Amino acid sequence: MESTGAFPLGMVLREEMEARGWTEKDIEARCTDPVAVLAIGLVLAVYDPNLILDEHTAEALGQVFGVSAKLFLNIDHSYRQWCAETGKRVDDPHE
């Protein structure tokens, strides 16, 4: 994988989950919004720069991980911007 300054949000979330010893079930248990749970699952499953994180899902992620929603919005925006500028993307290591 080529080194970049930006990574897909799903990759960042999976690494953070791994560091905390969490599974997707742990995310579901920590998130009280069923719509956000579905959206978070999609973010974890798809490394698509065209999939834009919405503020509702970012807020849910912020609550789950105990950080600002802005952090997730910035990660998502940075990756999509890098993809648009370079025409590249970081491949999903789970494929």
Question: Model-level pTM?
Answer: 0.80
Within 10 angstroms of residue 91's Cβ, the number of other Cβ atoms is 12
Is pLDDT above 50 for 2?
no
- Helical (H) or strand (E) element with 26: helix 24-30
Q: Is 49 left (phi over 0), alpha (psi -120 to 50) or beta?
A: alpha
DSSP label at residue 76: H
Task: Report how far residue 94's alpha carbon sits from residue 9's, in angstroms, rounded to the nearest whole number.
Answer: 14
Is pLDDT above 80 for 73?
yes
Q: Which residue has better confidence, 10 or 49?
A: 10
Q: Which residue has better confidence, 48 or 95?
A: 48
The pLDDT of residue 40? 86
